[in-house]
Every structure is written in structure tokens, then in C-alpha cells.
Amino acid sequence: MDRLSQILWRERELLELLAYKLEVERLVLASGRTRWLVNATREIESLLEDLRATEVLRATAADEVAEKLGLTPNPSLAALAEASDDPWRGILLDHRDALVGVAREIAETSEDARGLITAGYRSARETLLAIGGTSTASYTPAGAAVADAPRSHLLDRSL
């Protein structure tokens, strides 16, 4: 149990750091200073690798504890806590609650960043298409693509 708890602490620390890094990435996107976006993304990818390795350790430790408690492999933290005596029951439930909370925060921040990335991509694409003089595809109400939809141009070529 002690090994599992230590791994859960490490996983919590990594998830908290991931939440922070995602918030930094979101702020970089929101500021429009995309020069730093590559660095922020690289840090997140590195952190995700560490998190994957920690998840494997957690799964192994959880299976060992499950076997000792007479549970099936791949148990949830709630199942482990329910089968455990105090103080481990409370400790495991605290870990579970913290992990659920930080996972929710990460999901919300990721969704915000995804929206900013999508909006930035669309804006850049529309601007480049307008400058290049090509039209952008649009869609009919039925979902069929229309290749030559009319576009207004942002560049006055008469000068």
C-alpha cells in the first residue's frame, strides 16, 4: 500500500504540473505570442511521457495491492479504498478525489486551448486564402462541399 500511495503522490504531482503547463500554453495562445508555443508544447510532451511511465507503475502497484486484497486485476482506486482498512481507505479516497479534480481541470484547460488553436488556424487560413485570391470551400445546408464560394478580399489590389 505504501508503494502505491507514493506512486499516486508522484502521479498527482505530474498532473498538477501538466495542468500548469497547459495553462501556460493556453496563455501563450491567447496572447498571440506564438513564438513560445513550440517550447510550451515540447514541455507538455515531455511531461506526458513521464506521466505514461508513472501510470504503468501505478497499474502494477494497484494490481499487487488488489491481489493481496482478493480483488480482480486492474481495480479502480474506489474499489481498492473500499476493500482497504483505515487509514488506507481515507488515503486512497483522498488520492482519488485529488486525481479526479486535477483531471477535470486539465480537460477544461485543454478544451480552451483547443478552441484557441482552432480559431487561430481558421483566421490564418482565411487571411492567406483572401490574400492569395483563392476562394475557400464552404458547405451547403445538406453538408455537401461547395468549391468556389464567393469571398470578399482584404487586400486592395488597385494600388
Residues 97-111: tens digit of each pLDDT? 999 999 999 888 888
> Does residue 70 register a pLDDT over 90?
yes
Q: Is the distance from CB of 12 to CB of 95 less than 8 angstroms?
A: yes
The mean per-residue pLDDT over the stretch 46-71 comes to 94
Domain membership flag for residue 139: no
pTM of the predicted protein model: 0.70
Burial (CB count <10 Å: 0-12, 13-18, 19+), residue 31: exposed
Domain membership flag for residue 117: yes
Domain membership flag for residue 146: no
Confidence (pLDDT) at 67: 94
> Does residue 130 register a pLDDT over 90?
no
Domain membership flag for residue 158: no
The mean per-residue pLDDT over the stretch 2-26 comes to 92
Domain membership flag for residue 145: no
Domain membership flag for residue 37: yes
**Structural domain tally of the chain?**
1
Q: Is the distance from CB of 39 to CB of 130 less than 8 angstroms?
A: no
What span, in angstroms and rounded, lies between the C-alpha atoms of 114 and 120? 10
Q: Which residue has the higher pLDDT, 16 or 41?
A: 16
Tens-digit pLDDT profile for residues 73-86: 999 999 999 999 99
Domain membership flag for residue 12: yes
Domain membership flag for residue 159: no
Q: Which domain holds residue 57?
A: 2-130
